[in-house]
Amino acid sequence: MEPVEFRRWAEELAQWISTYLEELDGYPVLSRSRPGDLRARLPDEAPEEGEPMDRILSDFYELVLPGITHWNHPSFFAYFAVTGSGPGILGEMLAASLNVNAMLWRTSPAATELEEHVTDWLRRLLGLPEGFRGVIQDTASTSSLVALAAARHRAFPQAREEGLFHGPPGRVYASAEAHSSIEKAVVTLGLGRQGLRKISTDSAFRMDPEALDLAVRDDLSRGLRPVAVVATLGTTSTTSSDPLSPIRKVASEHGLWLHVDAAYAGAAAMVPELRAPFAGWEEADSVVFNPHKWLFTPVDCSVLLMRHPEVVRDAFSLVPEYLKSSPGEEATNLMDYGVALGRRFRALKLWFVLRWFGAAGIRDRIRAHVELARGFAREVDAAPDWERGAPVPFSTVVFRFRPPETDESTCDRLNLAVMERVNRTGEAFLSHTALDGRTWLRLSVGNLRTQKSHVDRAWTLLREAAREERR
């Protein structure tokens, strides 16, 4: 594509995207597609001859767009709500155009140095001490995999050479509320699902440090090898936070690596009055926080902050001849801090986002989201047939419809039906979770375009749906 033609289409997309962002409210949040809808409309084979861009874009508008669930929609309240903000999109445009690979320092010094620098900005904003060094991974799943690989390397120093075959079984500890990515990482690393021991939680879904201590002692007495404990600040179901100080104490006593998963809630650490749950995380061995969740950065951008980057490097580094740097080049090669050799220039969009909003601007928006969520929680608390399932420390509310004289399993079915009914309207999209085996709904605020009117409308839709389902 000639540069002049590229410019024409990029300008058309600039216009289309700006209209899209302007008119997002008019799209159904959750796609109304049924499985196979798109594939049925696509030819079985790639075209033999190249096609003009106007035809490709018209297929994008007509075929792809109806199959999009609009994560950028102000009424997207499912999972954790996110924003692909304007400055973030601009950063991605440039990153795709430069198309650099930040595997080695020399393969684009600015990509490596900006990544080191901007993750250091983030470290300061989060209130973490200087000892932490940052690296950007695609997702928290990968960041936690890398952190736990380092923990495994510390617990089984011979595993890098010999594998795990000769060691006593290793154990990672996390609360029953920890994210499924922790279990996936433990399985990937060869520790097996039994290698993750799930620790019970208290009534507010926080890890019980005494149960952790007992579990570690029990495992030690059985000849197992404790490797790491994962403390979650802002769990996926309820955004509960594990009590860091007592967990740290257990970790220190038994030599466990302490990994903190603050993938979602980390953004709140920038706001003084929301910082309480983070006290003590400066003692962690590693911390993951995802700017692509609650920091307005387009997916993917997960920051792993490492207090022992040398352990991560020792666990992963393998440098073949064709990747050796020149003598005298004493710089960081970021490929040594993760699984992937190839690395996009993700720091650019994060730099754009942090500068565009500024620290004060970020704090204001985080505060506004928390206030919207707590406002919704107050509505739920005041409504007779509704109840809340957990506190609201951040921007996510867990709640359910609980009409009188309804047994638990009826209540489960009712809430799923209410949720599906709301989601089908296309006006809002919520998700659900299970607490103690029962079904609860979740409303998560995290999109920059979300106003009180959107949250209010979701509440109206929920009550209407509940009335319909009770008929």
As measured in angstroms, the least distance from the Cβ of 450 to a second copy is: 14
Identity of the residue, 21 or 383, whose beta carbon is nearer to a second copy in the bound complex = 21
Q: Tell me: does residue 187 bind a second copy (CB under 8 A).
A: yes
Q: Torsions phi, psi of 202, nearest 5?
A: -85, -170
CB atoms within 10 A of CB 82: 24
**What is the Cα–Cα distance from 216 to 225, expressed in whole angstroms?**
9
Map the footprint of a second copy across residues 87-146, applying CB under 8 A: 87-90, 92-101, 105-111, 113-114, 116-117, 120-122, 124-125, 138-142, 145
Instruction: Candidates 318, 384, 404, 407: give the one binding a second copy (CB under 8 A).
Output: 318
Q: Dihedral of CA 153/157/160/164: which sign? A: negative
Q: Tell me: does residue 220 bind a second copy (CB under 8 A).
A: no
**CA-CA distances (angstroms) from residue 237 to 122, 311, 409?**
25, 32, 19
Q: What are the strands of the beta sheet with 386-388, ordered from one edge?
A: 386-388, 396-401, 438-444, 431-435
| Candidate ranges 46-54, 200-208, 279-287, 463-471; the one touching a second copy (CB under 8 A) | 46-54
Map the footprint of a second copy across residues 383-402, applying CB under 8 A: none
Identity of the residue, 114 or 455, whose beta carbon is nearer to a second copy in the bound complex = 114
Instruction: Candidates 75, 232, 236, 450: give the one binding a second copy (CB under 8 A).
Output: 236
Identity of the residue, 191 or 250, whose beta carbon is nearer to a second copy in the bound complex = 191
Q: Tell me: does residue 192 bind a second copy (CB under 8 A).
A: yes
Map the footprint of a second copy across residues 2-21, applying CB under 8 A: 2-7, 9-11, 13-15, 17-21
As measured in angstroms, the least distance from the Cβ of 357 to a second copy is: 5
Instruction: Candidates 204, 255, 341, 467: give the one binding a second copy (CB under 8 A).
Output: 341
Cβ atoms of 229 and 256 within 8 Å: the answer is yes
Using CB under 8 A, count the residues that bind a second copy. Answer: 166
CA–chain centroid gap for 126, Å, is 16
As measured in angstroms, the least distance from the Cβ of 258 to a second copy is: 21
Instruction: Candidates 25, 38, 451, 457: give the one binding a second copy (CB under 8 A).
Output: 38
Which residues touch 221 (CB under 8 Å, ≥6 apart)?
Answer: none
Identity of the residue, 34 or 382, whose beta carbon is nearer to a second copy in the bound complex = 34
Map the footprint of a second copy across residues 346-385, applying CB under 8 A: 348-349, 351-352, 354-361
**What is the Cα–Cα distance from 352 to 297, expressed in whole angstroms?**
9
Identity of the residue, 194 or 453, whose beta carbon is nearer to a second copy in the bound complex = 194
- In sequence order, what are the beta bridge partners of 229? 173, 258
Identity of the residue, 99 or 221, whose beta carbon is nearer to a second copy in the bound complex = 99
Map the footprint of a second copy across residues 407-446, applying CB under 8 A: 416, 420, 431-434, 442
**CA-CA distances (angstroms) from residue 138 to 143, 169, 249, 273, 344?**
8, 29, 31, 30, 9
Identity of the residue, 231 or 248, whose beta carbon is nearer to a second copy in the bound complex = 231
Q: Tell me: does residue 340 bind a second copy (CB under 8 A).
A: yes
Q: Which of 350, 301, 349 minimizes the C-alpha distance to 91?
A: 349
Cβ atoms of 71 and 84 within 8 Å: the answer is yes
Using a 10 angstrom Cβ sphere, with 0-12 exposed, 13-18 middle and 19 or more buried, the burial of residue 92 is buried
Identity of the residue, 276 or 341, whose beta carbon is nearer to a second copy in the bound complex = 341
Map the footprint of a second copy across residues 75-94, applying CB under 8 A: 78-79, 82-90, 92-94
Instruction: Candidates 29, 72, 251, 280: give the one binding a second copy (CB under 8 A).
Output: 72
As measured in angstroms, the least distance from the Cβ of 29 to a second copy is: 11
DSSP-derived 3-state class of residue 466: helix
Q: Which two tokens stand for residue 193?
A: 């699902």
Identity of the residue, 163 or 255, whose beta carbon is nearer to a second copy in the bound complex = 163
As measured in angstroms, the least distance from the Cβ of 202 to a second copy is: 19
Instruction: Candidates 46, 272, 273, 404: give the one binding a second copy (CB under 8 A).
Output: 46
Map the footprint of a second copy across residues 158-177, applying CB under 8 A: 158-165, 167-170
Q: Which stretch of DSSP H or E encloses residue 399?
A: strand 396-401
As measured in angstroms, the least distance from the Cβ of 265 to a second copy is: 15
As measured in angstroms, the least distance from the Cβ of 438 to a second copy is: 10
Rg (CA), the chain: 24
Helices (DSSP H) in 275-407: which residue ranges? 291-294, 309-316, 347-382
**What is the Cα–Cα distance from 111 to 349, expressed in whole angstroms?**
11
Identity of the residue, 29 or 455, whose beta carbon is nearer to a second copy in the bound complex = 29
Q: Which two tokens stand for residue 304?
A: 């792993």
Which residues touch 169 (CB under 8 Å, ≥6 apart)?
Answer: 191, 192, 194, 195, 224, 225
